[in-house]
């Protein structure tokens, strides 16, 4: 695990997390800026989830507010975690239908990008689609498989997660739309992902697992689902057989330069 300068905020005895006004202001800037960009770019299932969650604009939401909606729709919850957690903890949470949320928010200096997933990324980027049964089923299955996987298998599963839950696109009758939380919480990647600059590939489980990525750059390639329900179908395939196939075939050449030392 890498070190982080961020520290997750602890709840009080009543379970309420207190944030200073400056952090509420960061949330308001982020959510209002991003909502303006997502109309006509985010998939409808995500927009439906945003409507159901009814996230406040002027303050950081409490986890209990989010939990009430998720529990009523798909039986999911969010779970408070530190800034960074081990793979094992991550898979344990997903396998029990709990999505990890670090209770800190980025500083104004890192408004556009930070490597650690903060509460805006997790709540705004991912939680709306956890109201969708297809997405929720895939995420749950992913956690269950990750718990049983070897260290090497987990690396291939991580690529699948990156190319779907974090940076996935889907086709719709109106054109390509975004469902990946890493894109949905980033203004720059929202515009870039749907442009002609990156490569767009039809989604294939094995190909996604064989594709290297870097977390600190705009993605050079995005995988496009034929429809969001494809995630539900994948959840009922033998994903570990796909992992073994990907391991036998090996990784593709990276479509990006190596990270500078």
Name the pLDDT band for 172 (thresholds 50, 70, 90): very high
Q: Which residue in 185, 189, 193, 207 is the catalytic one?
A: 185
User: What residue ranges define each of the domains in the chain, with the CATH number in brackets?
Assistant: 21-249 (1.10.800.10)
User: Is the confidence at residue 5, as pLDDT, over 90?
Assistant: no
Report the C-alpha gap between 233 and 210 in whole angstroms: 20
Q: Which residue in 45, 92, 122, 126 is the catalytic one?
A: 126
Q: Which residues contact 81 (CB under 8 A, 6 or more apart)?
A: 8, 89, 93, 100, 101, 102, 103
Contact call for residues 252 and 159 (beta carbons, < 8 A): no
Q: Which residue in 45, 92, 121, 153 is the catalytic one?
A: 121
Q: Which residues contact 83 (CB under 8 A, 6 or more apart)?
A: 4, 6, 7, 8, 102, 104, 116, 118
pLDDT of residue 33: 97
189 catalytically annotated: no
Report the C-alpha gap between 130 and 1 in whole angstroms: 26
Name the pLDDT band for 260 (thresholds 50, 70, 90): confident
Report the C-alpha gap between 184 and 38 in whole angstroms: 7
200 catalytically annotated: no
Report the C-alpha gap between 16 and 261 in whole angstroms: 42
pLDDT of residue 251: 97
Contact call for residues 212 and 252 (beta carbons, < 8 A): yes
User: Is the confidence at residue 25, as pLDDT, over 60?
Assistant: yes
Q: Which residue in 166, 186, 189, 207 is the catalytic one?
A: 166
Contact call for residues 238 and 140 (beta carbons, < 8 A): no
Q: Rounded mean pLDDT of the chain?
A: 96
Give the C-alpha distances (Å, rounded to integers) separating 236 from 97, 150, 179, 222, 233.
17, 20, 20, 23, 5
Report the C-alpha gap between 103 and 205 in whole angstroms: 32
Report the C-alpha gap between 221 and 219 in whole angstroms: 6
Per residue in 226-245, pLDDT (tens digit) is 999 999 999 999 999 999 99
pLDDT of residue 1: 53
Name the pLDDT band for 2 (thresholds 50, 70, 90): low
CB 113: neighbour CB atoms within 10 A?
13
* Polymer length in residues for the chain: 261
The alpha helices in the chain, defined as continuous H runs, are 21-38, 44-53, 63-73, 87-95, 119-120, 133-148, 151-161, 181-184, 187-193, 205-209, 230-235, 239-249
Binding site, annotated residues for Fe cation: 121, 126, 166
Residue 146 token pair: 């990750």
Name the pLDDT band for 18 (thresholds 50, 70, 90): very high
pLDDT of residue 261: 64
Pairing outcome for strands 169-172 and 175-178: antiparallel
Mean pLDDT of the 126-140 span: 98
Name the pLDDT band for 126 (thresholds 50, 70, 90): very high
């Amino acid at each position: 695990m890498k070190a982080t300068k961020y520290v997750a905020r602890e709840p009080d005895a009543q379970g309420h997390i207190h944030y200073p006004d400056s952090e509420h202001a960061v949330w308001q800037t982020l959510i209002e800026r991003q909502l303006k960009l997502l109309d006509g770019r985010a998939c409808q299932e995500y927009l439906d989830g945003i409507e159901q969650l009814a996230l406040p604009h002027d303050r950081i939401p409490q986890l209990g507010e989010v939990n009430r909606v998720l529990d009523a729709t798909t039986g999911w919850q969010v779970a408070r975690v530190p800034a960074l957690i081990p793979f094992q903890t991550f898979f344990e949470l997903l396998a029990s239908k709990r999505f990890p949320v670090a209770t800190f928010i980025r500083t104004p200096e890192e408004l556009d990008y930070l490597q650690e997933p903060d509460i805006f990324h997790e709540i705004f980027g991912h939680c709306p689609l956890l109201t969708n049964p297809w997405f929720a089923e895939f995420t749950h299955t992913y956690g269950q498989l990750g718990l049983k996987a070897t260290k090497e298998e987990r690396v291939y599963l991580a690529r699948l997660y990156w190319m779907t839950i974090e940076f996935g696109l889907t086709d719709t009758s109106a054109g390509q739309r975004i469902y990946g939380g890493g894109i949905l919480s980033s203004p720059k990647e929202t515009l870039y992902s749907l442009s002609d600059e990156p490569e767009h590939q039809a989604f294939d489980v094995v190909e996604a697992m064989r594709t290297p990525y870097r977390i600190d750059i705009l993605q050079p390639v995005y995988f496009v689902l034929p429809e969001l329900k494809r995630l539900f179908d994948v959840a009922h395939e033998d994903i570990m057989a796909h992992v073994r196939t990907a391991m036998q075939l090996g990784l593709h050449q990276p479509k990006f330069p190596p990270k500078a030392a």
